[in-house]
Amino acid sequence: MRLFAILFAIILTINGCSSINYANPATIKDKLKQSKLETLLKNLGSNREDSKELAEVAITYSKVLANRYNLASPPLYHNFLVNSGQRDRGLCFHFVEDLMEEINRRGLSSFDFKWGRANANMLDEHNVVVVVKKGSSNFKNGVILDSWRKSGDLYFILVKDDPKYNFKEWQEGNAKIAF
């Protein structure tokens, strides 16, 4: 009976982990999310055009990266694949670096971008992009852009409202994303 339970758990684990492939990075659901994110960004005090462009690129490019990384779900399983050499990229900090590279190409002038880090140097460390109004030092009122948490389906929320992580600004990370 014990052997059966172990085999069942292994099969469940294998079947519960799957590859992600976003054939269309701009679905109707994404357009609704984009509208919500755009509103959140405008509430930071940015202009409408920059808010719209950032919302669109953050949502669609997160899916592009998931496809590029051949992302597996759930995210912790993908981390296992990267850490065991079966995938090259797709850890949360890879998403931060690559998403910021794309955002920086856009030349958005209404925002500053920060590197958010929770549980630093721990096994469950997590990294995100945090968007704040240009010139603002109010990190906790910034907007989290988290491409990793939902396997390429962008998660966003105010830093102070995140129910799972207590992000802090990481100065060394800021230097890495300031292109």
Which pLDDT value is given to residue 3?
55
Residues comprising the chain, all counted? 179
Spatial separation of the C-alpha atoms in residues 74 and 86, rounded to whole Å? 15
pLDDT digits (tens, 9 = 90+) for 140-150: 999 999 999 99
Instruction: Give dist(CA 100, CA 97) in Å, integer.
Output: 5
Q: According to the CATH classification, is domain 29-177 in 3.30.450?
A: no
* Average pLDDT of span 79-97: 95
**pLDDT at site 96:** 97
Give the Cα separation of 58 and 96 in Å (integer). Answer: 11
Residue showing tokens 């590279």: 101
User: Which tens digits make up the pLDDT trace of 2-53?
Assistant: 654 454 344 445 545 777 788 776 778 889 999 999 999 999 988 999 999 9
Q: What is the pLDDT of residue 84?
A: 93
Q: How far apart are CA 34 and CA 48, in angstroms?
A: 13
What's the sign of the alpha-carbon dihedral 77, 150, 162, 173? positive
The pair of structure tokens assigned to 46 is: 């940015």
The arithmetic mean of pLDDT across residues 82-87, rounded, is 94
Average pLDDT, the chain: 88
128 vs 23: CA distance, rounded Å:
24
- DSSP secondary structure string for all residues of the chain: -HHHHHHHHHHHHHHH-EE---S-SS-HHHHHHHHHHHHHHHTTT--HHHHHHHHHHHHHHHHHHHHHTT-EESHHHHHHHHHTTS-S--SHHHHHHHHHHHHHHT---SEEEEEEEESTTSTT-EEEEEEEETT---GGGSEEEESTTTTTS-EEEEGGG-SS---EE-HHHHHHH--
Label residue 69 by pLDDT band (50, 70, 90).
Answer: very high
